């Protein structure tokens, strides 16, 4: 019986994900994580668990997405990989958010954004801040959501045209508030 390498499993997972076959992608990523674990490669196994988490979330299984990403942050932290640690925390936040656990999701989004800010990952931080802002909007905190979104795009060093437009639009409500 031929064993499939974790690299091939990962590529198959990526292909399935790109094709919109999220449950299938999650299976491939899970198999790749097991294969990496068997080889003693904890970092790549954790990466595959995070990929699996994203695929499971897209497939509508937030609970399993949370389980898949839950411990990966610690692996990346131990390795000193702050970028992947922050992304793992963001994946946990997204799963918590989808499960309706809004307070822990908000705290996780903020931790992820703080870590990304520390290492200068402005575009990833903007994505996390956008998710945090959406959560704040859903909980009726419109002004806080605007401030969060503004904070996210404000720090982008090389914003796209869309991001520059968003920056200008977000300044308008605060200019109006200053008049009162």
Give the tens place of pLDDT for each residue, 30-78.
999 999 999 999 999 999 999 999 999 999 999 999 999 999 999 999 9
CB atoms within 10 A of CB 80: 7
Per-residue pLDDT at 126: 86
pLDDT top residue among 170 and 93 = 93
Write the DSSP symbol of residue 121: -
For a pLDDT cut of 90, what percent of the chain falls above it?
A: 64
Nearest 5°: the CA angle 39, 44, 49 is: 110
In this prediction, residues 2-18 reach a mean pLDDT of 91
In this prediction, residues 107-124 reach a mean pLDDT of 93
Concatenated DSSP letters of 61-106: -HHHHHHHHTTHHHHHHHHT-HHHHHHHHHHHHHHHHHTT-HHHHH
Per-residue pLDDT at 135: 87
> Cα–Cα distance between 180 and 176 in angstroms, integer?
7
The pTM assigned to this predicted structure is 0.82
Per-residue pLDDT at 136: 85
Q: Which residue has the tokens 């499971």?
A: 56
pLDDT band, very low/low/confident/very high, at 3 (cuts 50, 70, 90): confident
Per-residue pLDDT at 44: 97
- Residue 40, sorted as left (phi over 0), alpha (psi -120 to 50) or beta, turns out to be left
Per-residue pLDDT at 84: 97
> Cα–Cα distance between 31 and 10 in angstroms, integer?
8
């Amino acid at each position: 019986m031929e064993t499939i390498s974790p690299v091939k499993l990962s590529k198959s997972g990526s292909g399935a994900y790109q094709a919109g076959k999220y449950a299938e992608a999650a299976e491939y990523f899970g198999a790749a994580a097991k294969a990496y674990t068997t080889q003693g490669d904890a970092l790549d196994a954790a990466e595959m668990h995070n990929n699996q988490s994203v695929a499971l979330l897209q497939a509508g299984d937030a609970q399993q997405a949370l389980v898949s990403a839950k411990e990966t942050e610690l692996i990346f932290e131990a390795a000193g990989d702050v970028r992947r640690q922050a992304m793992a925390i963001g994946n946990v936040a997204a799963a918590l958010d989808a499960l309706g656990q809004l307070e822990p999701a908000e705290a996780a989004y903020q931790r992820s954004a703080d870590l990304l800010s520390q290492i200068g990952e402005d575009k990833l931080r903007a994505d996390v801040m956008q998710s945090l802002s959406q959560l704040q909007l859903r909980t009726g905190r419109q002004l806080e959501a605007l401030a969060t979104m503004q904070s996210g795009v404000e720090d982008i060093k090389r914003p796209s045209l869309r991001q520059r437009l968003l920056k200008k639009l977000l300044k308008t409500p605060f200019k109006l508030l200053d008049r009162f």
